[in-house]
Amino acid sequence: MKQPIFVAHRGAWKTGRRENTSGAIERAANSGRFSYIEVDVRRSRSDDSANQTPILVHDPTLDRLYELYNIPKSKRHRLGQPIYGLTLDIIRSEEIELTTLVEGLRVANGHPINIEIKSAESLDSTLEVIRDVIKKYSEWTWEKIVFSSFDWDILYDIKEKAPEAGITLIYGWRSLPRSFGRTYHSLGARWIMFNKWLAPVLSPLAKLYGIQHRGVYTVNSKLEVRILQLFGVSSFTTDSITLPDEFPVK
């Protein structure tokens, strides 16, 4: 079997870091274990409340990240408040550990990164940040940037606005009614990624469509990797910092 490709899911966050933070990204980049670091982008606002600022966070609120469900209701001043309602000055003053896309790219230091766009509203500001970073820092090129999304309309928007960027088509349970082969080729995507439970069926089918690079999310055991490799899966998004070590390069 070929050597599998590993992607650090929200950075290497199961090492005492919080997911999607500069610490998790830096840990993954410095480990030497991952081909890509995956992060999630939503939008917040800048200090002047005029411009949108891309923030690295998976959920639309802080409830899960800060375990707000366990806090008395009288103190849940952030419960259910959307991320886009937070300004950077609030984030800093309340010591909320959220990392901006600019900060994440800085600590990644040119390590290839997979940016999952969680909402269409964050796309334009994200592209603006990336163009600026590529212009300013020689370690960053479009070849090191891959966008992914469950919303395929977002991916078509990316193809139009940033044709230099790589694209990964994410396929999940809600996508089942949609055909992925034609979409993959029309987008000129680099990869297609499946829910790991769908992969045993969809990966062989994708091969028939001529899709060579097939990945799954999220896999945390060597046994799962070996089984899915039998179905033609080549890349694995993982929460484990040690899983890549179980597949040493020969």
Q: What is the rounded CA–CA span in Å between residue 204 and residue 22? A: 37
Cβ distance 163 to 143 under 8 Å? no
Q: 128-141 in b/e burial notation, b at 16+ Cβ within 10 A?
A: ebbeebbeeeeebe
Whole-model pTM: value is: 0.90
| Nearest of 93, 82, 92 to residue 122 by alpha carbon | 82
Q: Residues near 248 by Cβ (< 8 Å), separated by ≥ 6?
A: none
Instruction: Read off φ and ψ for residue 111, nearest 5 degrees.
Output: -70, 130
Q: Which domains can be identified in the chain, with CATH numbers?
A: 5-246 (3.20.20.190)
Q: What is the rounded CA–CA span in Å between residue 228 and residue 218? A: 12
Neighbours of 171 (CB within 10 A): 23
Neighbours of 13 (CB within 10 A): 20
Q: pLDDT 10s digit of each residue in the chain, 250 long?
A: 789 999 999 999 887 788 999 999 999 999 999 999 999 999 876 555 456 789 999 988 777 776 644 545 544 445 456 676 666 666 666 667 889 999 999 999 999 999 999 989 899 999 999 999 999 999 999 999 999 999 999 999 999 999 999 999 999 888 888 889 999 999 999 999 999 999 999 999 999 999 999 999 999 999 999 999 999 999 999 999 999 999 987 6
Tokens of 123: 């796309």
Chain-centre distance of CA 5, in angstroms? 15
- Measured distance between the N- and C-terminal CA atoms of the chain, rounded to whole angstroms: 12
pLDDT at 51: 61
